[in-house]
Structure 1
Amino acid sequence: MPQPAAQDDLDAIAVELYALPPSEFTAARNARASASDRPLGARVKKLPKPAVAAWAVSLLAREGQLGEALELASALREAQDDLDAAELSRLGAQRRALVGALSTQAVALAGERGVAVGAAARDDIEKTINAAVMDAAAAAAVMTGRLVRPLEATGFEHVDLADALGGSAPDGGAAPPPPTRDDLAERRARKEAEKAAREAERAESEAQRELARIETRLGKARERADLLHERLEELRADVARFEREAAEADDEAERMDGKREEAASVARAASKKAEAARAAVEELAR
């Protein structure tokens, strides 16, 4: 069994070699094997040439483009452990879009380094990135930058990592242990509490918005009420003035009515005198 220091040396050499385009790998590997001491050189000589798809995914990892995918992977595994169907559906759609975008990015990066990627290799790139998203051990393998063959996730089984890496497997290549019942209960309780908190925050926000709307309407209603009260006071003052003027007009009409009676009486007396005078004149004329 190789010593840890020797294994570290092999892994470091493998990282350097797998950073080269696949067409340059074999010559560079053989040269490095010849330059190393015999035990290490023999192991370097056994490093397999990477498939184009595996090399392109390692390139993507070295360029730091897989961070978002691995964050999504963690959320997916948590939703899967919690049997959260709605969250799995939402994250699944996000996963497909992200895997497609990263596959395109990997092909572009390979092209910038003069490596053409065929249709079959493109499919393998997408399957490998998807496997890294779906499986923590596959993600750890991809992030070493020493992938030599494509990976594929099949259902909920762990991804087969046999002979997938040049050098050692990360952390012995073991898949993470399944969560215990207590872990799941705690995680579900935390998610339920977080969901309840989000719902409470949404309810609080909506209540605050409704309060603001009502306060705005209240302000307008009070402003209108004040205006109408002012107008009502003005109208009351007008009514009082009109009542006074009407009473004065009634008094004036009553006085005029009395004077009319007096004038009518005088007019009647004058008419009688005038009639008597005309009669006298007619009598004299005979």
Structure 2
Amino acid sequence: MPSSAGKPPADSTAAQLDAIAAELYALPPEEFTEARNARAATADRAIAASVKALRKPTASAWAVDLLARDGQLAEALQLAGALREAQDDLDAAELGRLSRQRRQLVAALATQAVGLARDRGVAVSPAARADVEKTINAAVMDAAAAAAVMTGRLVRPLEASGFDAVDVSDAVGGSMPGVPDAPAPTRDDLAERRARKAAERALREAERAAGEADRQLAGIEAKLDKSRERGDLLRERLEDLRSELARLEADAEKADRETARLEDEQKDAAAKARSATRDAERARESLK
């Protein structure tokens, strides 16, 4: 049996290669090839060939690597878990909300990645920016893609296509981290989660309906207060008008009595005038 004395364990070799790859992929892409060749020349014989085989990253992959090393992908990967749970639960409303949040977050992270690259003196073309967005979106949608991105050693962009697994083959310089299999939810677990989601939706709907009912009640009570106030004002006005009417009726009766008295006086005066006129005519006749 051949001796393995002096030969580093396989996992140690992979760790060394990954450490060297992480250093190299932190460099701007135009510096990568020269630095890689120099590092391969001084590396242990066990990994020298592997170092030499490391591929230069594309501009989009390097920008995503910057974002991963900067620690700004944690929120996106938290969203990834929530998205997968919503898919498992078949919660369309929650899935729609998370999908909108995902698109906004992916676009914002892509802008940050391009900004980090620009700060390092590397311009990212519009086409490369599109690849940055696709890669971040793939990391959100797929656990294996997320693991590849989080190494900070990505060499090519990734893309999620429908519900198929993202192709991460040859996407990482160095070793590809394993993705632990998540335990498949049991029927009881799914039923419990769906029941909880249904109860939460029912609670939200009940709270919304209660809030709407409270708003309607407040509006009606406000209108009722105004109506009562108007009724009180109208009743006060009506009392004033009744008092005024009674006064006017009394004045009218008084005016009627005065009119009757004056009419009687007018009749007497008219009779006296007629009598005086006749007396005056007889007096004139006697003078002729």
State TM-score, norm by structure 1: 0.73
**3-state SS of paired residue (1:244):** helix
In the alignment, which of 183, 199, 202 is matched to residue 196 of structure 1?
202
Aligned partners of 2:87 and 2:95 also within 8 Å = yes
Greater CA drift, 103-112 or 194-203: 103-112
Q: Which moved more, 1:231-240 or 1:182-191?
A: 182-191
For structure 1, which runs of at least 5 residues remain unmatched after alignment? none
Distance 1:202 1:245, change over 3 A: same
SS at match of 1:153: coil
CA contact (8 A) 2:33 2:56 kept: no
Shift in Å at residue 59 of structure 1? 0.8
Q: How many residues align?
A: 278
Rate the CA distance shift 1:224–1:44 in 2: closer, same or farther, 3 A.
Answer: farther
> Structure 1 residues 128-137 or 6-15, which shifts more?
6-15
Gaps of 5+ in 2: 1-7
Give, as a single letter, the amino acid of the residue that structure 2 aligns with 1:114: G
TM-score, normalised on structure 2? 0.73
Give the match for residue 46 of structure 2: 42
Using a 3 Å threshold, how does the CA distance of structure 1 residues 153 and 175 change in structure 2: closer, same or farther?
farther
Aligned partner (choices 57, 76, 84) of residue 83 of structure 2: 76
Q: Which residue of 2 aligns with 1:15?
A: 22
* 1:46 match: secondary structure: helix
Q: Secondary structure at the match of 1:125?
A: helix
Equivalent runs, 1:49-198 vs 2, <5 Å: 49-52=55-58, 53-85=60-92, 87-88=94-95, 91-92=98-99, 95-96=102-103, 98-117=105-124, 121-122=128-129, 124-170=131-177, 172-198=178-204
Q: How far apart, in 2, do the equivalents of 1:58 and 1:257 lie?
A: 117
Shift of 1:103: 3.6
Structure 1 residue aligned with 2:242: 236
- Tell me if structure 2 keeps the 8 A contact 1:76–1:91: yes
Residues 1:219 and 2:225 aligned together: yes
Q: Which amino acid aligns with 1:183?
A: D
Alpha-carbon offset, residue 239 of structure 1: 0.9
Paired residues of 2:143 and 2:179 also in contact (CA < 8 A): no
- Aligned residue for 2:5? none
Kindly, what percent of the aligned residue pairs are identical?
A: 62
Distance 1:121 1:216 in 2: 60
CA gap of 1:120–1:98, structure 2 versus 1, over 3 A, is same
Q: Do 1:149 and 1:164's aligned partners in 2 also have CA atoms closer than 8 Å? A: yes
Specify whether residues 177 and 150 from structure 1 end up closer, same or farther in structure 2 by C-alpha distance, changes over 3 A only: farther
8 Å Cα contact 2:13/2:46 also seen in 1? no
Question: 1:237 offset after TM fit, Å?
Answer: 0.9
CA distance in 2, matches of 1:166, 1:7: 11
The one-letter amino acid paired with 2:218 is A
Q: Distance in 2 between matches of 1:245 and 1:209?
A: 54
- Report the CA distance between 1:149 and its aligned residue: 3.8
Amino acid at match of 1:42: A
Alignment partners' CA distance in 1, 2:134 and 2:276: 131
Does the C-alpha gap of structure 1 residues 238 and 119 become closer, same or farther in structure 2, counting only changes over 3 Å? closer
- The question of whether the paired residues in 2 share the 8 Å contact of 1:50 and 1:147 is answered with no
Q: Which amino acid aligns with 1:186?
A: E
Q: 1:256 to 1:118 in 2, by over 3 A?
A: closer
2:3 corresponds in structure 1 to none
